[in-house]
Amino acid sequence: MLLPLFFIILAACSDKPNVITDLSSARFNLMNSRNEKISFPEAVRGRTVVLNFIYTNCPDICPLTTNNMRLIQAKLLKEKCPNVEFVSISFDPENDSPEVLSKFSSIRNLDLGNWMFLTGSKSEIDSLIKTAGIIAVKDDSTIFKDGRKMVFYTHTDRISLMDNEGKIRMNYTGSKINIDEIVRDIKLLN
């Protein structure tokens, strides 16, 4: 009789937020912007992760979310908060090759010391976004005079906070995130 009560009290005293999505036993074979194979989330195990899903042709939410990731990274650096990795995963692998992701981060002068941009096969990315609860639906497209086609997506606007075991603990609206709030939550998990 007392044992179940003990476990309820113990769970209530935990400082960590509840698990939203458990990626700890998942293995996604991806490529980083240097064209190196990465097993995600294994590659970031042991670190708190600030995670978002983007595509490089996005005209609205993704640039805002990427900039907010940059602001979070800068604030954590200023506050000397170690052991945090930033991960941006493209849900448009047909267009976002490692080279495209490298150019995307270079143009924005992003600090890749603790930030990786990942892509992979369509099937691997589709499985990952489904597991992570991300919605990315092809929408309108534009065809340029040279024959290039640019596809636009309607997609989830999210930055997630993943603990050092690979469990997503918090989700935030990526384009409108409160930087102080997520930094506080990162320190709680770290």
Looking up tokens 């042709």 gives: 57
| Stated pTM of the model | 0.88
N-term to C-term CA, the chain: 35
What's the fold here for domain 16-189? Glutaredoxin (3.40.30)
Residue 124 has pLDDT above 50, yes or no: yes
Domain ranges of the chain: 16-189
Which helix (H) or strand (E) element contains residue 155?
A: strand 149-155
Q: What is the pLDDT of residue 56?
A: 95
pLDDT score at 14: 52
CA atoms within 13 A on the CB side of 117: 27
* Angle at 158 (CA atoms; ends 76, 66), nearest 5 degrees: 55
Give 166's DSSP letter: S
- The enclosing H or E element of 9 equals helix 2-12
Q: How confident is the model at residue 6 (pLDDT cuts 50, 70, 90)?
A: very low
Q: Looking at per-residue confidence, does 3 or 171 come out higher? A: 171
Q: How many CB atoms lie within 10 A of CB 85?
A: 20
Q: What integer pLDDT is reported at residue 70 of this predicted model?
A: 98
